[in-house]
Structure 1
Amino acid sequence: MTRMTQVASFVFLMGALAGAYAAEGFEPRYNLAGSLGGEIFAPPDQTGWAIGMAVTRVPVRRVTGGDGKDLTFPLPGGTLSVPGIPSALQPSYGPGMATVQGDGSMTRSDLAVAYLTKDQYAGGRLLFVLDLPFIRKDQHIGISGAAPALSWPAPLPAEVQAGVTGQFQAQYKDALAAQGAASTAIVHGLGDAELMAGWQYVGERLRVLGGAALVLPTGKYDAGPRPDTGTGNFRTLRPALQVAYLPTANIALGAKLSVGLNTRNRDNQLRSGNWVGIEMAAGYMTPIGVVGVHALRVQQYQDDDNNPFGASRFRSTNAGAFFTTRLPVVDAIMTLQYIDTTSSRYAKHGSFTQLRLIKLF
């Protein structure tokens, strides 16, 4: 009887899950902490070199699916191979559904070097930036789901059916748990570098910055389920237009429009759909610095291609506040900002706290 109730291995299930969770980490190549702060009160005529440093802390509360709740995905049905039972009597089972309970944290440290030309072109100056990030991720994944019922083509002794059913349910649960454990890890290393070029105009009341960034796959990435410091073996071109307007000397309003254009990931042949990002900010100049509020939304407008989750359109809406001041001792601009995810789809749902320093030379 023991030999007859030994259920076959769940290699098929493990493979399906490994392919599914490798969908580029539910992260767009965009600063979800927000890039509009008190810097919208830019001084009127800065040129030369600048160094920027930013540290972003991101506690992740969950990974969301298409309904904004915990991510779920279907598992295929099949026929169970049970040793000792004729092939014509092997039980089958229908498709199941797995739920992902994901949380963790990420700390991202960026070092950026920028140069703003002294010469003007069409009334503005050219800006060039190199940004190198260092990433640390602590990811915890749990995967669970109820085993589907077994369907027997012909009745067998009750004790045989009960034994096979018990082992099938246990191995189904264990396979899900094992894949969750395989997706849980702490990693650290270099992230994906960014090269940016743009044109900046600074007037008395109007500030305009237009340009594009090229994100390169310099971070470590593997198509398996473990977290990575890189977001994938593909490139992203990110054109953007940022505008700030000062209706008075103490009030500034800012807006930014960005588009993400992705190539195909060479490691898993997945192509993340292109996305658009919109940011808005309002700041007020006080005697000690700028206080303000900001909000952003990043959303895919194109389906993923070759993603086991299907279209998997990323969407994240965040809102928060910021404070910017000048540090006289080091003559640098410091911005502290916080933003919280208010709603999301196929995304990591959490909050973002960022501290950044900009030193002009």
Structure 2
Amino acid sequence: MPRSSSASSFYRAPLKASALVLALAAATSAMAAENGNQRYSAGIGGSDMTTPVVPGLYFQAPMVAYHASKIKGNDGKQLTNFTADPYPRAKVSIDTDTYAILPRLTYISSHRLLGAHVGVTAMLPVVKRKADFGLTTGNGTLDAGLGLAARASQMSGSETGIADLEVSPVMHWEIGDHQSVTFAPTIVMPLGDFKADQRVNTGFGDYYTFRPSVQYAFIGDGWDLGGRAVMSFNTRNKDTGYYSGKIFNFDWQAMAFVSEDIRVGVQGYFVRQLQADTVNPTPANGMTQKMLVDQQGNKASVNAIGPAVAWLMNGGEMLIEGKFIKEFGAKNRTEGQAFWLTISKPL
């Protein structure tokens, strides 16, 4: 039997809501890795990679301000507009900021193992994360009856607090007079606050990350070159059933002395997710998990480059570095820019 026009309207209303809610979910879930976050701060490696290391106690305080108003899809194009019948266009917007200080203590002993000085390092970040998501139709309005504005508001938020604790043994080899290699098999433990029903959190959830890194430095005659390769292996988040696939990071920097105390140069990084995310839906998260399932094939990637300047005070009493890094070529994640200020000091 044909449905009446009133019956058709009744059935179209849920379809409108589903189309637009899924448009919003697609934009905000297109970021691979859970909620678009990973536990390694890309760009954190800088002049510390090429600073000579001797046995002792070191303090480091990198500070970062990251902003992004773009989110890229699997094709590398910005995810801002979706067709959501019967609406001609549904515009999705994102505005996200992260402010963080990442204090680290590192101890390098005079004892050697396999020719390397051994030590230990630990870092406990303090962060403020903020994200605003929006969704409007082609005429600039939302049907309040569909609850879309509330859905966008639910995904938005601002949280401040500690993030997750990082601890690692360290092995540092000096290779001749000009080169060094450092190995740090880091374990990241869930310590920061995390709520499964919100997208913005200071912590990452109830899972662990094993993150081995290998760092190489060449200290030349007036110029330095450093690189750090990092691989992240995650367990499944018990809070959400989400598994973030393996992610490879590489930070690099090339610096030249322009005076006895000042170095200038260029820094960059690239991020490649090598394994797709997967989701085991959990009863606690229901609709959120169902929407995330559609995104589990995504793999995040991004490149970045920018200028850096470092001031070596009193021949090594303290190192202060500033840099600006601009991201490009992102896929399945945000694309933005970051200002970094890092203070490093032997104690």
TM-score under structure 2 normalisation?
0.81
Shift of 1:171: 3.8
Distance in 2 (alpha carbons) for counterparts of 1:97 and 1:268: 32
What is the percent sequence identity of the aligned residues?
20
User: Is the 1:145–1:176 contact (alpha carbons within 8 Å) kept by the matching residues of 2?
Assistant: no
Q: In the alignment, which residue of structure 1 is the partner of 2:324?
A: 338
Instruction: Say whether the 8 Å CA contact 2:253–2:268 is kept in structure 1.
Output: yes
Letter paired with 1:39: D
Of 21, 37, 50, the match for 1:27 = 37
Contact 1:111 1:131 in 2 (8 A): yes
Going from structure 1 to structure 2, the CA distance change for 1:216 and 1:48 (only over 3 Å counts) comes to same
Is 1:49 matched with 2:21?
A: no
- The match for 2:289 is none
- One-letter amino acid of the structure 1 residue matched with residue 167 of structure 2: L
CA distance in 2, matches of 1:66, 1:34: 26
Tell whether the 8 Å contact from 1:34 to 1:296 is kept in structure 2 after alignment.
no
Sort the Cα spacing of 1:351 and 1:322 in 2 relative to 1 into closer, same or farther, 3 A. same
Larger Rg over CA atoms: 1
**Structure 1: distance between partners of 2:72 and 2:168:** 31
Q: CA deviation at 1:142?
A: 1.0
CA distance in 1, matches of 2:127, 2:250: 25
Determine if contact 1:138/1:186 at 8 Å carries over to the other structure. Answer: yes
- Structure 2 stretches lacking a partner, 5+ long: 280-292
1:136 alignment counterpart: 128
Aligned equivalents of 2:166, 2:246: Cα separation in 1 = 18
| 3-state secondary structure, aligned to 2:338 | strand
Q: Deviations over 1:72-116 (max 9, x none)?
A: 7999x9xxxxxxxxxxxxxxx899996532112110111111110
Residue 230 of structure 1 is matched in structure 2 by 203
SS of structure 1 residue aligned to 2:184:
strand
1:277 equivalenced with 2:287 (yes/no): no
Q: Which residue of 1 aligns with 2:103?
A: 111
Task: Give the TM-score of the pair, scaled to structure 1.
Answer: 0.78
- Name the residue aligned to 1:251: 223
Task: Indicate which of 155, 169, 173 corresponds to 1:197.
Answer: 169
Between the aligned partners of 2:77 and 2:145, the Cα distance in structure 1 is 21
Task: Detail structure 1 runs of 4+ shifted over 6 Å in the superposition.
Answer: 3-6, 14-20, 72-75, 93-98
Q: 1:62 aligns with which of 56, 66, 70?
A: 70
State how far apart, in whole Å, the 1-side matches of 2:122 and 2:149 are.
41
The counterpart of 1:217, out of the listed 179, 190, 205, is 190
Matched residues, number: 320
Cα distance, 1:259 vs. partner? 0.8
Secondary structure of the 2:124 match is strand
Instruction: From the superposition, tell whether residues 170 and 350 of structure 1 become closer, same or farther in structure 2 (CA, over 3 Å).
Output: closer
Q: Distance in 1 between matches of 2:298 and 2:92?
A: 15
Give the Å deviation of 1:180: 1.1
Indicate the RMSD between aligned Cα atoms, in angstroms. 3.4
State the AA in 2 paired with 1:133.
Answer: P
User: 1:165 matched to which residue of 2?
Assistant: none
Letter in 1 for 2:306: G
d(CA) in 2 for partners of 1:96, 1:190? 43
